[in-house]
Every structure is written in structure tokens, then in C-alpha cells.
Amino acid sequence: MNALPRRRFLQQSLFAAGSTLALVGRGMAAPSEEIHAAVIGLGDRGKLLATQAAAVPGLKITWLIDADESRAKEGLKIAPGAKTGQDMRKALDDKEVDVVIIGTCNHWHCLAAIWACEAGKDVYVEKPLGHNLAEQRRLIEAAEHYNRIVQVGTQQRSDTVQDEIRRFLHEEKGLGEIQYIRANRYGLREPVAKSNGALKIPEGIDYNLWCGPAEKRELHRSRLHYDWHWDWNTGNGEMGNWGVHILDDVRNVGLADKVGLPKRLLVGGGRMLWDDAGETPNVHFAYYDSGSIPVLFDLSNLSIKPGSKASPAYMGTRSGYTVHCEGGRYSGGRGGGAAYDKDNKRIRKFSGNGGKGHMENFIDAVRERKRSILNADVVQGHYSSSWCELANVGYKVGGKYSRDAAMDVNQSKAEWAELVDQANERLVLHGISLDDPGIALSPVMDLDSASERFTGDIGEKANAYLSRSYREGFELPKIG
């Protein structure tokens, strides 16, 4: 997989020289050419991506790949006549394939995308960009080295309403100066059911390929698919699931994409109430010092009280963000929102479509050979995913919670105290509190944005979580 065929080398040399002509092989499709796509990972998200891709004029899906062969074959309903397989390398070796669309589990995102770049393919990869910061950086290097176009699945960036909101907040100063941003993900989840003994891998699944770069472990949950989100070996928890979309909005709209990584953060959270097979927090909160506008994030997968099927909300949003300004606030999420004055009177509404043209934007960039027209390029995807992964690191290195320690990040910010106290009040309704031993709290963690590593006393411990070990045969390739 690491040795590029001569045809691919010539293609990349032409691209580096600025050519837009499809003179050799595929992968350099001129505007009039049909683009051939391989879809890798055909779970619910992968099938949706395949459906979106199949609807783009001039694109044909020629490969459907999933370690679960039943899922790959299910994809034939979307792309009749496509080849199916369990090993993505079959599709990557096909010189007729131009683009690869990756909808796998998180732990496969970066390695699959790097392999695709090596093979001369352009890439659409679901969020989060990867499983950790180090592999995401390696993918950025691969995209640069092999001159590949890489779009990340934060589809809301293809919604033009985001530009409208950003202009209102930053250029028109429609609500005055921004004071802070509070973001939240409040959405109910169920406990991850345990299995009696080790989970028996269903027939038709190549479990070795399913695990890929992750550790090949016995599982003690009742199902293989989807619940990998709540397993640190393969997923990034709710923070790396919905959190990526919300914090990408915060960076794009609230911070106008002026901040890559935060300077400091403090994180708390735990997996509360559930005696289940999951590992990741279902209560998670973080303070981000962006260097300019403070960002506060609150997450809960619990109901507002025992027996309820309702989730909490903040300023009318459950999965969204509120930009607090001197003259009022903007509250919204995917698809738009509204601006309110200080008397809570709505003064302007913003409506969009949630980014339905995201796949088409990717294909447009492929046809024109212009990374600059991507709405969610690999670098922005890296930063937004990293904010979530940094919060996960903070949870992993956390110690005993105390409210006084939680306030250490910024003693003067009443809004941070408000968030922490509200998180505590919700737990009290369930008969526990943030003082429960299950809640962990990090110290204030300083981050060097140039090296993308933590500094100070916590640095060595925290930096160990910025990468992972890879199984033999699934290591990250060296670039160049």
C-alpha cells in the first residue's frame, strides 16, 4: 500500500505543477468525466453518505466495502452493480477509483484516509477526523504530500446560513462585542447492554479487519455495531460524536475560525447512574480558554429527572450554542437560530438547510482540483475534532472533583460557575452530585498550539493520550 504505482506518481507530479488536465489514468477527473467512488463503511451513516454521493450528477459508486459483508451487500440497494468486499485495500488498488468516502468507525478514519491518499484518491471522511490528535496530523501531512483533496463530514459548514450568522456577529456587530460562548449537547442515551460472557462476533464479519488499527479485544456488550462509540478503544464518546458538530459551529461561527486550538482547558465528567458496558462519560463539561472569547461546553445524556423522557435545554437549545454579547445573544444550532436583544426579544431569525450540499461541495473541489473551495477541509476538521479529543484527555487524567478546583480555570467568570452548578443540580435530581466519586476533574491544562502538546506538570501524563499504539499490519505509514 505504501509504494505508489508509476501512474499515480505521474498524476501527482502533474497536479503539483498546477495541471488540471486528466492526461494519465484516473484520479485527475476533468469536469466532463464520470467520477468513480468507493464507499467504505456501510452502517447507518455510511449508507446516508452513499445515498448523498449517488445523487451527485456524474458520480458513480463502483465499490461498497464493509468488514460486515451483509452491510456491504445491503449497500447494493443504493448502488446496484457496484463491487462489494470486506477489505478496503481491494478498492484502493483499483486504478479506476477516484474518490473514497469513509463512513467507518472512528478508529479507522485516519488510517483509511491515509491509505487512500497514498493510493492517489481524494477523500471524504466522516467526523471526527480521527481517534486522536497525532493520527489526524499524519493525515494532514499525507493530504499535503500526495496533493489530495480531503473533506471532513462536518456538513453544517456547507450551509450558507453559517456565513450569514458569522457576518452578523463579527462584521455587522449586530449584538455588540462577544463576551463568551456557551455550547451544549443534551440528548438522551440508553445504557450499553452487557453481554453474558464475551460477545460472539456474528457470522459474515471479519473481526480482524473490523478492529484494524485498534486493539483486538473480547467485547462484553450485547452488540458490535454502533456501541463502539462508547468504547475508548474504538470511539470518542458523545464528546467526539455530537460534540464535534457543535464545537465546529462554535469555531466557525462564534470564533470566526480565528482559533485553531485552545490555550488552556479544564474538564470534568463521569459515567453516572449506569452500570453498563460503556466507558465514556455521559456527563461531561469543559472550559476552553481560546485566547480571546471563552468557550464553555456542557454535555449530558441523562434525562432531566428520573422517569422522564425529556432532556435538559439551555436558552432553548439542546444541541447547539449560545453566543452571549453585550447587546443580547444568538442561540442556534444546525440549520440556523435567532438573535435576541437584552430583553429577550427576538430581533432576527436565521434559517438554513443544515448543509445538504456538503457532498456536492467535495465533488466540485475534486473536479476543479481546488482545495480552497472545500467547506470543511482537513485542517479545520482536525481542529474541531481536537477540541473534543482534548476534553476526553482531560477526563482521562482527572482526579477528585471539588467545586473550588473547578473554579481555578477562571475565578472571575460567573457564567462558568453557573454551568457547573447547573450540572450539579441536574445530578441532584437523580440522587447524586458532582461530589460523587464517579466524577473526575482535571487540573487546568496548558496546551502549546504549535507542538499540539500539553505543557506543565500534567504534560507527560496527558500527552500519552494524544496518540495510540497500532496493531501490526495497521500501523500509521510514514509520510514522505
pLDDT in tens, 200-219: 999 999 999 999 999 999 99
The CA-based dihedral angle spanning residues 396, 402, 405, 407, taken in that order and rounded to the nearest 10 degrees:
110
Position 132 scores a pLDDT of: 98
Q: What cell was used for 65?
A: 466495502
Q: What cell was used for 137?
A: 496530523
Position 11 scores a pLDDT of: 42
Q: How far is CA 173 from CA 178, 247, 329, 366, in A?
A: 9, 21, 12, 36
6-157: CATH topology is: Rossmann fold (3.40.50)
The burial of 357, by beta-carbon neighbours within 10 Å (0-12 exposed, 13-18 middle, 19 or more buried), is given as middle
Position 30 scores a pLDDT of: 58
- Give pLDDT < 70 ranges for the chain: 1-32
Convert 216-238 to b/e letters by CB count within 10 Å (16 or more is b).
eeebebeebeebbbbbbbbbbbb
Position 32 scores a pLDDT of: 56
Return the HEC string of 235-266: CCCCCCCHHHHHHHHHHHHHCCCCCCCCCEEE
The CA-based dihedral angle spanning residues 278, 270, 470, 444, taken in that order and rounded to the nearest 10 degrees:
170
Measured CA to CA, the distance from residue 474 to residue 114 in angstroms comes to: 11
Position 3 scores a pLDDT of: 37
162-355+377-463: CATH topology is: Dihydrodipicolinate Reductase; domain 2 (3.30.360)
Measured CA to CA, the distance from residue 161 to residue 253 in angstroms comes to: 10
Position 31 scores a pLDDT of: 55
Enumerate residues 6+ apart whose C-beta is below 8 A from 277.
192, 193, 194, 195, 219, 220, 221, 222, 227, 230
Domain boundaries, the chain: 6-157, 162-355+377-463
Position 239 scores a pLDDT of: 98
Same fold, 6-157 and 162-355+377-463: no
Nearest to 60 by CA among 92, 27, 98: 98
Angle at 102 between CA 101 and CA 107, to 5 degrees: 165
Nearest to 416 by CA among 252, 67, 182, 66: 182
Three-state DSSP class for 421? helix
Tens-place pLDDT, residues 5-39: 333 433 443 344 333 333 233 455 555 589 999 99
Position 259 scores a pLDDT of: 97
Strands 83-85 and 59-65 turn out to be parallel
Q: Is 265 in contact with 136 (CB distance < 8 Å)?
A: no
DSSP structure string for 35-48: EEEEEE--SHHHHH
Measured CA to CA, the distance from residue 140 to residue 235 in angstroms comes to: 20
Q: Is 39 in contact with 103 (CB distance < 8 Å)?
A: yes
CA 305 to chain centre: 29
Beta strands in 47-195 (DSSP E): 59-65, 83-85, 99-102, 122-125, 150-152, 178-186
Containing 137, the helix (H) or strand (E) segment is helix 133-145
